[in-house]
Amino acid sequence: MAHGAYYYIAQAWKKPDAKILRERMTSWRATETVVKVDKPLRLDRARALGYKDKKGFVVVRVRVVRGGHKRSRPIKGRMGRRMHTRKNLKMSYQWIAEQRAANKYANLEVLNSYQVGKDGQHFFYEVILVDPEMQEIKNDPTISWIASPGNKGRVFRGLTSAGKKSRGLLHKGPGLKVRPSARARKHKGK
> CATH number for the domain including 16?
3.40.1120.10
| Segments forming the whole domain that contains residue 70 | 5-151
127 occurs within a structural domain: yes
With b for 16 or more beta-carbon neighbours within 10 A and e for fewer, the 167-180 pattern comes to: bebeeeeeeeeeee
So what's the pLDDT on residue 53?
94
pLDDT in tens, the chain (190 residues): 789 999 999 999 999 898 999 999 999 999 999 999 999 999 999 999 999 999 999 999 999 999 877 777 778 888 877 777 766 778 899 999 999 999 999 999 999 999 999 999 999 999 999 999 999 999 999 999 999 999 999 999 999 999 999 888 888 877 776 777 666 655 555 5
- Inside any domain, residue 176: no
Decide if 43 is inside a domain.
yes
pLDDT at residue number 183: 65
Give a yes or no: residue 93 inside a domain.
yes
In this predicted structure, what is the pLDDT of residue 182? 61
Query: What region does 53 belong to: left with phi over 0, alpha with psi -120 to 50, or beta?
Result: beta
CA distance 123 to 102: 17
| Domains in the chain, number | 1
Q: Is 113 left (phi over 0), alpha (psi -120 to 50) or beta?
A: beta
For the entire predicted model, the pTM comes to 0.85
Residue 117 within a domain: yes
Looking at residue 185, its pLDDT comes to: 55
Residue 172 lies in a domain: no
Domain assignment present for residue 45? The answer is yes
Residue 31 belongs to a domain: yes
